[in-house]
A and B are shown apart, each in its own frame.
Chain A
Amino acid sequence: MEPKKPPQDFTLRVRRYDPESGEAPYWDEHTIQLEPHRSVLEGLLQAKGRFDGSIGVRCSCKAAICGSCGVRVNGQPGLACHTHLGDALKTAKNGVIDVEPMGNMPVIKDLIVDMDAVHWKKIQRVTPWLLADDENMPEREHIVPKEAMVDVTQTMACIQCGACVSDCLSMEVDPLFIGPAALAKSYRFVGDPRDTQQAERLKDIAEDPHGMYSCTHCFKCIEACPKGVAPMSQIMRLRRRATGDHHIKDRNNGFNHEKAFVKNINKNGLLHENDLLADSFGGKLNPASGLFLAKSLPVITRALLRGKATLKVALLHPHKAPADVKRIFDTIENRDKRNEFNLYISGTDEDNAPNQPEEAPQNGAHAGQEATA
Chain B
Amino acid sequence: MSKKVAYWPGCVSRGFTPELHGSMAKVAPLLDLELIELDRACCSGAGVIAEHNQELADTLNARTFAMAQQEIRNGADLMMNICSTCQGAHSESQERLDASAEYRAQVNETLKPDGLEYTAGISNKNFLWLLVEEIGLEALKSKVKRPLTDLKVGPFYGCYIVRPKSRIGIDDEHPRDTYLPLVIEALGGTVIDYAGSHKCCGFPIITMNTEASLAQAGRHLGDAKDADADCLVTPCPLCHLNLDLQQPLAAKAVGRKLDMPVLHLPQLVGLALGLSPKEIGLQRHVVKPTSVIDWTTSVVGSVG
Is the A/B pair a real complex?
yes
Binding site for B on A (CB under 8 A): 90, 169-170, 172-174, 177, 209-210, 213-220, 222-223, 236, 239-240, 243-244, 252-254, 257-258, 261-262, 265, 269-273, 277, 280-281, 292, 295-296, 298-299, 302-303, 306-309, 313, 319, 321-322, 324-325, 327-329, 331-333, 335, 338-341, 343, 346-350, 362-365
Interface residues of B in 27-47 (CB under 8 A from A): 40, 42-43, 45-47
22 contacts between A and B (CB under 8 A): A90-B172, A172-B219, A174-B215, A217-B47, A222-B164, A223-B164, A236-B51, A261-B46, A261-B49, A262-B48, A270-B15, A272-B15, A280-B207, A308-B19, A313-B15, A322-B42, A325-B60, A331-B110, A332-B55, A341-B96, A348-B98, A364-B166
Interface stretch (choices B124-132, B140-148, B264-272, B283-291): B283-291
Shortest C-beta distance, A90 to chain B (Å), equals 8
Shortest C-beta distance, A116 to chain B (Å), equals 24
Interface stretch (choices B70-78, B184-192, B198-206, B255-263): B198-206
Q: Give CA–CA (A210, B208) in the complex, Å.
A: 9
Cross-chain contact A321 with B42 (CB below 8 angstroms): yes
Q: Give CA–CA (A309, B46) in the complex, Å.
A: 20
B165 — which chain A residues lie within 8 A by C-beta? 223, 364
B106 — which chain A residues lie within 8 A by C-beta? 339
B167 — which chain A residues lie within 8 A by C-beta? 363
Cross-chain contact B207 with A218 (CB below 8 angstroms): no
Q: Give CA–CA (A244, B51) in the complex, Å.
A: 10
Cross-chain contact A174 with B48 (CB below 8 angstroms): no
Shortest C-beta distance, A257 to chain B (Å), equals 5
Q: Give CA–CA (A344, B274) in the complex, Å.
A: 48
Q: A174-B209, A262-B48, A262-B49 are in contact. Are A299 and B286 (CB under 8 A)?
A: yes
B204 — which chain A residues lie within 8 A by C-beta? 216-217
Q: Give CA–CA (A325, B59) in the complex, Å.
A: 10
* Residue of A216, A272, A329 touching B202 (CB-CB under 8 A): A216
Q: Give CA–CA (A31, B137) in the complex, Å.
A: 37
Cross-chain contact A262 with B52 (CB below 8 angstroms): yes
Q: What string of 1s and 0s marks CB contacts (under 8 Å) between B87-114 and chain A?
A: 0100000011011110100100011011
Q: Give CA–CA (A271, B85) in the complex, Å.
A: 13
Max chain B C-beta neighbours (<10 A), residue from A172, A280, A328, A340: A328
* Residue of A213, A217, A239 touching B209 (CB-CB under 8 A): A213
Shortest C-beta distance, B110 to chain A (Å), equals 5
| B54 on interface, CB distance cutoff 8 Å | yes
Residue of chain B at shortest CB distance from A307: B284
Cross-chain contact A349 with B99 (CB below 8 angstroms): yes
| B302 on interface, CB distance cutoff 8 Å | no
Q: Give CA–CA (A309, B19) in the complex, Å.
A: 11
B208 — which chain A residues lie within 8 A by C-beta? 213-214, 252-254, 257
Cross-chain contact A265 with B42 (CB below 8 angstroms): yes
A262 — which chain B residues lie within 8 A by C-beta? 48-49, 52
Q: Give CA–CA (A357, B199) in the complex, Å.
A: 38
Interface residues of B in 233-272 (CB under 8 A from A): 245-246, 248-249
Cross-chain contact A219 with B212 (CB below 8 angstroms): no
Cross-chain contact A298 with B207 (CB below 8 angstroms): no
Shortest C-beta distance, A299 to chain B (Å), equals 6
Cross-chain contact A222 with B163 (CB below 8 angstroms): yes
B55 — which chain A residues lie within 8 A by C-beta? 332, 335, 338-341
Q: A217-B47, A219-B164 are in contact. Are A309 and B15 (CB under 8 A)?
A: yes
B23 — which chain A residues lie within 8 A by C-beta? none
| B216 on interface, CB distance cutoff 8 Å | yes
| B11 on interface, CB distance cutoff 8 Å | yes
Q: Give CA–CA (A281, B206) in the complex, Å.
A: 11
Q: Give CA–CA (A238, B17) in the complex, Å.
A: 32
Interface residues of B in 147-186 (CB under 8 A from A): 159-160, 162-167, 172
Cross-chain contact B53 with A244 (CB below 8 angstroms): yes
A308 — which chain B residues lie within 8 A by C-beta? 16-19, 245, 284, 286
B245 — which chain A residues lie within 8 A by C-beta? 299, 303, 308
Q: Closest 7 CB pairs between A and B?
A: A363-B166, A219-B163, A218-B200, A271-B11, A348-B99, A173-B215, A174-B212
Residue of chain B at shortest CB distance from A177: B212
A222 — which chain B residues lie within 8 A by C-beta? 163-164
Using A244-B53, A339-B54 as known contacts, list a sample of 8 further A-B pairs with CB atoms less than 8 Å apart, ordered by residue number in A.
A174-B215, A240-B52, A261-B49, A299-B246, A306-B284, A332-B53, A349-B101, A362-B166
B216 — which chain A residues lie within 8 A by C-beta? 169-170, 172-173, 216
Q: Give CA–CA (A303, B114) in the complex, Å.
A: 38
Cross-chain contact B286 with A302 (CB below 8 angstroms): yes
Shortest C-beta distance, B46 to chain A (Å), equals 8
Q: Give CA–CA (A303, B247) in the complex, Å.
A: 12
